[in-house]
Homo-oligomer: A and B are copies of this chain.
Amino acid sequence: MNSYEDLCSLAREISLIQSTASVLGWDQETYMPPKSLDHRARQVAYLSAKAHALATSADFRSLLEKAEPEATATEPTQAANLREWRYELERAARIPTALVAEESEVTSHAKHAWVEARKRSDFTLFAPHLTRVLEIARRKAALWGFKDEPYDALLLGYERGATTSAVASLFAELKPQLATIARKAVEQSAGIPKDLLQGDYPVEKQQQLNREIAESLGFDFEAGRIDTTAHPFCTTLGPGDVRLTTRYDTADFTSSLFGVLHEAGHGLYEQGLPPADFGLPSGTAVSLGIHESQSRLWENHVGRSESFWQKWLPRAAELFPNLQEIAPSDFLKSIHRSEFSFIRVESDEATYDLHILLRFELERRLLNGSLEVAEVPKAWNEAFEGLFGLTPPDDAHGCLQDIHWSMGGLGYFATYTLGNLNAAQLFQEAVSRPEIASGVDRAEYQPLLKWLRQRIHAKGSEQHPADLMRSATGRPTESAPYLRHLRSRFGETLHA
């Protein structure tokens, strides 16, 4: 066995531990009884520490050093794996263990403080914690190094090859146009009653429909499942084990359905990664911005399209008789209905990205020091007023709404909008092929999935996201396809 193969074995060992931690995490969210919380935390911490120790071990480093010069140009997968391992090792090695422990301590307190601060809608309770979180994020960025600004170093943890300035340029281009589209979508929605689809939707029947639809997209239930949690997610427990979750609103079936379409999009990507490379970069999803492109493609480009509902509305109406009275055109108007919301996670397709742009800009300024923590509520509210024409009534509906800062999760909100851009670009490229377009027109998605499998899923992390987009669509991520999609959906007509 050569060093590269030894390295693969060690990486697979690490992934055995990590995927075991994923089982523990899934169980914790789905079925674990409450009194197990402390012991579960100890189990997860133990596995995480073991995986981290192996990934940063002297063994790993020395195998990598031996394998790198042995790599041959004829093995692009091998070269990519070595490149990714080197990158991850250097990133991990630059953060001292003491800083990891300090971050864990700081964020643990910050999470508690955030819960309390949001409950009382009082940012001052959270501010000292955010200051400490930011300080740690800046120290990490400095240790990793960056060319232009600290946000660069954090962003690279989620989106290889991305730069803050490139993202900022894209967002600057999008911002005025998104604001116009959103305003128009909200205006046009004024006449659509909010409660048109309200009815009685038993959970079992929702589960039946969700399952039929997920299967029709290609989600493999022999290698996955759907369970119920407070917050929907998708997690991979092994190469044949991808689990989605959703939650049910018995008065509106579209809530769980679009949740399942979104998570199934993530799940189809995970099920399409090369199973033999599980645990290696070549068998791992490449970035959040590509992952989110898959969830948004199936949720919005497929799941909110007219052709999709031509097939599925009659089936839904069999399960939910109240839908029989609703005209297909009214149904589509309902699921494209748009309104301004203070809360990102409650916002719709036409307004969602404005929330992302706002937070991206504030995070960037917090990290480069041009915005003080104490000024966050004022800056948030002013930016919100500028984008939405509304002022949040309090901090709970403004800068305190999301948990992520309290967890140290800075630098990744940008990937949500990158995901939307990638989704539109991939979908438009795909349907430029007649066989895919005609499948989509009949709500048959095997040709589309096959294309995504070949162009995106099967590639794992072999290419950086921008190169992957270029090889799949001929262009790096850009704004035009997404704006075209939004204009078509929220412009001349209400559905496209």
Given contacts A13-B46, A27-B27, A46-B13, contact A241 B35 (CB under 8 A): yes
Q: What per-residue 1/0 map shows which CB atoms of A6-18 lie under 8 Å from chain B?
A: 0000000100110
Q: Does A300 count as interface, using CB distance less than 8 angstroms?
A: no
Contacts of A72 in B (CB 8 A): none
Contacts of A37 in B (CB 8 A): 240
Can you give 19 contacting A-B residue pairs, CB < 8 Å? A13-B46, A16-B43, A16-B46, A20-B43, A20-B46, A23-B24, A23-B27, A27-B27, A31-B31, A31-B225, A31-B227, A33-B225, A33-B240, A33-B241, A35-B223, A36-B238, A38-B240, A39-B240, A43-B238
Contacts of A42 in B (CB 8 A): 16
CB distance from A362 to the nearest CB of B (A): 40
CB distance from A205 to the nearest CB of B (A): 16
CB distance from A19 to the nearest CB of B (A): 7
Complex formed: what's the CA distance from A224 to B20 in Å? 21
Contact of A39 among B36, B39, B278 (CB under 8 A): B278
Q: Does A221 count as interface, using CB distance less than 8 angstroms?
A: yes
Closest-by-CB residue of B relative to A42 is B16
Contacts of A40 in B (CB 8 A): 238, 241
CB distance from A30 to the nearest CB of B (A): 8
Contacts A20-B43, A31-B227 aside, 13 further interface pairs with beta carbons under 8 A come to: A16-B43, A17-B46, A19-B39, A19-B43, A20-B24, A20-B47, A31-B225, A33-B223, A33-B225, A35-B220, A36-B238, A40-B238, A40-B241
Closest-by-CB residue of B relative to A271 is B35
Top 7 A-B pairs, shortest CB-CB distance: A35-B240, A39-B238, A36-B241, A35-B223, A36-B240, A36-B238, A35-B222
Closest-by-CB residue of B relative to A12 is B42
Complex formed: what's the CA distance from A13 to B47 in Å? 11
Complex formed: what's the CA distance from A33 to B223 in Å? 5
CB distance from A268 to the nearest CB of B (A): 15
Q: Does A357 count as interface, using CB distance less than 8 angstroms?
A: no
Contacts of A35 in B (CB 8 A): 220, 222-223, 240-241
